[in-house]
Structure 1
């Protein structure tokens, strides 16, 4: 037990192959210990109250193999990870729920990208769930931030009263009078106009070629943070936190799992890192 405790402590702090060298132990034994305790910790997760999930995917090794993550959107906990991507991963997650005493029927909302495979999988295996696309979730937050700016500013700028929907709707959906009002106000020095321009820029993000998307989003966040518009600043912080959250933890797991021989090892490290698992064995002290 004491050796296992020390092994787990090292594997939580450094790549597994480095931990193996530190302990002068073959990494096969290290991984066996790791899987045992991570498995026990994951078995204790209660999935019976999960209602909202998010689906994310990451390449397991230089883009050649993928793992798909199913995350509790409220608790920000990785509930299940499996090799591959697409529709069949939804079937595996449904089976995992059943094995944990939960059911597909309890899932009310699934947030994912606009992949047709994910959409089909949700419709087939989680038919009761609402599908929320990342784009619409983000744009909802953007619209709320724009409106917050308008509400704050209209106290000093009465011309903004009764203009809520001209800033929130797509211009093509506005009536002629609303379009005229928008044209008069949007390029003015009003703070709401600046917030609106940030909204338009975010809409452009969704049509940006994938290769440039990360750069575009970072530039947008810098612009929003420098806008001095409190709702937009807070929104940028929220988006930044969301963008870096699970992805950053997965990248950390990859670094710690350096030298892993299979996807199962990476998945176990993702569980440990993303969920910040606290295992009883880590409470044991190294033998002197």
Structure 2
């Protein structure tokens, strides 16, 4: 019976001769199962030079954490042979088929850990797997680095560049995404022009060509504009709708805050209410799309549009800019888009609202890129969405102490790396679901 059990677990662990399970010890008190694995042959090929029929020099006891068996924590133990080669003269330890060299986990255990880290903060994944987060972080770095070494960037033509914070107000990283493949290409600390040069170097290392990049979507950062001009010389720069409208929203908020600070009572009188909640509804109504207004916000905005407040003028300017983007996209005409934007800038310069005067000057300085962003249909919306997911991850993990960890998680979740180990549980789950559907 014991031989049958050992043969069963040899097959379950995927071991092949001369490796085999020779004993199984179950400890229900510690909720643990231990497998003793043995190397049954008397000799082996030299791992260093591949010379065959070398004798075993000695054996070293090693242990590895494996996937749980039922509810029990599983461990593999083996006396791993070392071969002293008569050809090269080296004494080398044989590799084991279930784990990579130097790791205390089996390959399947590490694969499950990576899969959990894609969905959970690493600290939570570590608690579920009953290991230290530090050990799991080392696996994330190892596999992400190995997978990125084999990553192919030869087809990169359209990229989006943006920044995101690692620590609030202290540290930033630059993220470069492939807008066509919708994946993260590169991340590094900082947000100056040297980060774009670092991306160009990374692109060459992975089979890409910086001269072949035809389009770059960025915000109006002077540093990024300089970096693109130096490192991606043939790329056309466009400033996408998200960033331009965000600048208009910021200008509108500045006008509203200044007006409320200077004459809050007059604003309440103009709106015909002294209810502070109504003013709060006004704040959110000005920021949101009309289709998303609540009944209270609809009333507040109805009051606003019948006043002569500066906030009303600011809101009309912001809405006109958003409408301008829709018209330009429908026309698909560069002369039309440029003429319409020029008229809007003229209105903004004459509106007697300083924040919008500054915005008009900013758009005039970057006119070509803004017009291209209105017409080409590409935007950093995907980039912003991914940055938002990373910020949610950072919040759930209560921050990242190490920038390298933040970047490693970004690559793991957003780079669509093809050479990472697959989740060992997915095939079994897929088969069970398929069998269940067939029965139903």
TM-score scaled by structure 2?
0.42
Q: Determine if the alignment matches structure 1 residue 168 to structure 2 residue 312.
A: no
Which residue number corresponds to residue 217 of structure 2?
A: 111
Aligned partners of 1:249 and 1:273 also within 8 Å: no
Which residue number corresponds to residue 95 of structure 1?
A: 201
| CA distance in 1 between partners of 2:143 and 2:159 (Å) | 25
Aligned partners of 1:38 and 1:271 also within 8 Å: yes
Aligned partners of 1:257 and 1:269 also within 8 Å: no
Which residue number corresponds to residue 129 of structure 1?
A: 235
Distance 1:129 1:29, change over 3 A: same
Aligned partners of 1:249 and 1:274 also within 8 Å: no
| CA-CA distance at 1:72 after TM superposition | 0.8
| CA-CA distance at 1:282 after TM superposition | 3.1
| CA-CA distance at 1:147 after TM superposition | 6.3
| CA distance in 2 between partners of 1:166 and 1:266 (Å) | 40
Which residue number corresponds to residue 103 of structure 2?
A: none
* Secondary structure in 2 matching 1:57: strand
Which residue number corresponds to residue 5 of structure 1?
A: 111
Aligned partner (choices 314, 326, 349) of residue 145 of structure 1: 326
| CA-CA distance at 1:247 after TM superposition | 2.3
Aligned partners of 1:15 and 1:258 also within 8 Å: no
| CA-CA distance at 1:56 after TM superposition | 0.6
Aligned partners of 2:240 and 2:379 also within 8 Å: no
Q: Determine if the alignment matches structure 1 residue 62 to structure 2 residue 168.
A: yes
Which residue number corresponds to residue 272 of structure 1?
A: 412
Aligned length: 218
| CA distance in 2 between partners of 1:65 and 1:52 (Å) | 27
| CA distance in 2 between partners of 1:89 and 1:263 (Å) | 15
Aligned partners of 1:77 and 1:274 also within 8 Å: yes
* Secondary structure in 1 matching 2:389: helix
* Secondary structure in 2 matching 1:46: coil
Mean Cα displacement is larger for which, 75-84 or 36-45?
36-45
Which residue number corresponds to residue 71 of structure 1?
A: 177
Structure with more strand by fraction: 2
Which residue number corresponds to residue 52 of structure 2?
A: none
Instruction: Indicate the RMSD between aligned Cα atoms, in angstroms.
Output: 3.9
Aligned partners of 1:147 and 1:167 also within 8 Å: no
In terms of Rg, which structure is larger?
2
* Secondary structure in 1 matching 2:207: coil
* Secondary structure in 1 matching 2:401: coil
Runs (5+) with no aligned partner, structure 2: 1-106, 246-320, 347-355, 361-377, 427-440
TM-score scaled by structure 1?
0.62
Distance 1:278 1:284, change over 3 A: farther
Aligned partners of 2:241 and 2:379 also within 8 Å: no
| CA distance in 2 between partners of 1:275 and 1:2 (Å) | 22
Structure with more helix by fraction: 1
